[in-house]
Structure 1
């Protein structure tokens, strides 16, 4: 294994327009700098070919390893011939060291909170289900209290927060859902904006929750109730694992999972207890 030739590592992220990822990049860079490592950042812009081009560029610059948040569920063939250590963030794949949050825990926390606030009929704007991170957020919520919470409808959308026609139609009809549980904060913010444009007041007429606790959640109106991921700790741990790999340590299958926390703000109305 090549080690220590450049003291540079690559960081490949899927979408820097999502505020979660710049915050993650900052955490990675801060820790890397403290260890004397240079970070080369690639934004794949949500494109598989952009991801492949980014990997090729990093190889041209002879980085010593790559920290990567993959776009899709399948690992690209070129990864087999990479000859560099790879550490994954957020999206686990078999055989690789990975760092991510406890998404199932986050879903369960939201389900507990929904019941505490009196919401028993819920609409889901789930994230892309080919990603384990999105599936576990959804499953953690749905499986927590299946006899107590009725899923009125579910639509899957991208993590970029762009609402499809199907999603807009579901929000319009709502089918008596009193709470919309979104797969991430961008989806939640997109839903709140669309509902506002349609004259629907959040949380007075319908409540909304997110996931990630990006910085926008505290400045939108209403301020968004969400699940906080420890982004700083995730980024720092990924760099630490990369440093171990670069030193020759065998950690290919190590998995680090961080707990998450509910952040209660203003986007969920208390309906009282229902009998």
Structure 2
């Protein structure tokens, strides 16, 4: 079995340098790091992460547990968290829970076995504390460190844009109300709609996915006779709605406007480009990593909840209604 010194010899560096590269404990020149990782691959050297963690008293690995990597919002969040973690000297272990509570529990158990220092987590369902420090993102819980966008404000901004464009009758594709983020978006929208006299003619609760229910699809096919704007709880739902409208021969925004939420990369590639609410992913990621590192330094400190603002991004999928 190859040793650390074998890797060092093949890479032409000291075993101390190899240790720094593998553990992220000290910055080395990129060309040196490349030689070390090439030697690791050639020799098929395997790190014993749990043993390392026990020797040091704390690992330099963070867990990241996300619910659905098919939703483009989460890969973007993962990349931003990975960059922030690397800057702080930590590696990242990713778990995709597939929106499945059992898979999520298995992933959390594996992170515990790997002795991660802590984890950043977007829970699938109710929050149950794992045996290591965590920061919840997007779907926060009381008494636990968390970072989320101002979803209530996001719903308000959707309604304000609708009113500013002269819309008075809308259809609402609300997200799963079991999730705090979806509930807050809906509550913010309905509160502002009530103040401004915006009528929600119909509402369908749908998952945060491209799979719309038959009833939601039927609503969209008959949209001309009922509403002038469709409001979606996220961009993936909005893109699914856009496809149904296109299949039904409904022109967006000439006949019906459409607005989403998240500002995923696909939003600008849609035809027309999607009006949406932008979540500040980079700021959320950096805040989550900083909060987790603070928790590692102050295990008994008070829980901190951070709410970051969102912004409206108007594009071609909405237009002013002629009075």
Q: Count matched residues.
A: 267
Task: Select 2:259's aligned residue among 200, 205, 209.
Answer: 209
The CA distance in 2 between the partners of 1:102 and 1:256, in whole Å, is 9
- Normalized per residue, which structure has more helix? 2
Change in 2 beyond 3 A, CA 1:234/1:196 = same
Task: Select 1:13's aligned residue among 60, 66, 70.
Answer: 66
Residue in structure 2 matched with residue 49 of structure 1 by the alignment: 102
CA root-mean-square deviation: 1.5
When normalised by structure 2's length, the TM-score is: 0.80
Measure how far apart 1:205 and its partner are: 1.2
Residue deviations 1:21-59, cap 9 Å, x none? 011001111010001011100001111111011101111
Kept in 2: contact 1:12–1:66 (CA 8 A): yes
The CA distance in 1 between the partners of 2:150 and 2:300, in whole Å, is 24
The CA distance in 2 between the partners of 1:181 and 1:240, in whole Å, is 34
Residue in structure 2 matched with residue 113 of structure 1 by the alignment: 161
Spell out the pairing of 1:125-204 with structure 2 (5 A cutoff).
Answer: 125-146=173-194, 148-174=197-223, 175-204=225-254
Greater radius of gyration (CA) = 2
- Which secondary structure state, in structure 2, belongs to the residue aligned with residue 100 of structure 1? strand
Gaps of 5+ in 1: none
The CA distance in 2 between the partners of 1:245 and 1:115, in whole Å, is 43
The CA distance in 1 between the partners of 2:193 and 2:316, in whole Å, is 24
Residue deviations 1:143-181, cap 9 Å, x none? 113151000000000011310111111112235210000
Kept in 2: contact 1:91–1:133 (CA 8 A): yes
Spell out the pairing of 1:251-266 with structure 2 (5 A cutoff).
Answer: 251-266=301-316
After the TM superposition, which segments of 4 or more aligned residues of structure 1 sit over 3 Å from their partners? 249-252
The CA distance in 1 between the partners of 2:289 and 2:162, in whole Å, is 36
1:36 aligns with 2:89: yes
- Which secondary structure state, in structure 2, belongs to the residue aligned with residue 145 of structure 1? helix
Whose relative contact order is higher, 1 or 2, with alpha carbons under 8 Å and at least 6 apart? 1
Kept in 2: contact 1:97–1:251 (CA 8 A): no
When normalised by structure 1's length, the TM-score is: 0.94
- Which secondary structure state, in structure 2, belongs to the residue aligned with residue 196 of structure 1? helix
Gaps of 5+ in 2: 1-53
Kept in 2: contact 1:160–1:187 (CA 8 A): yes
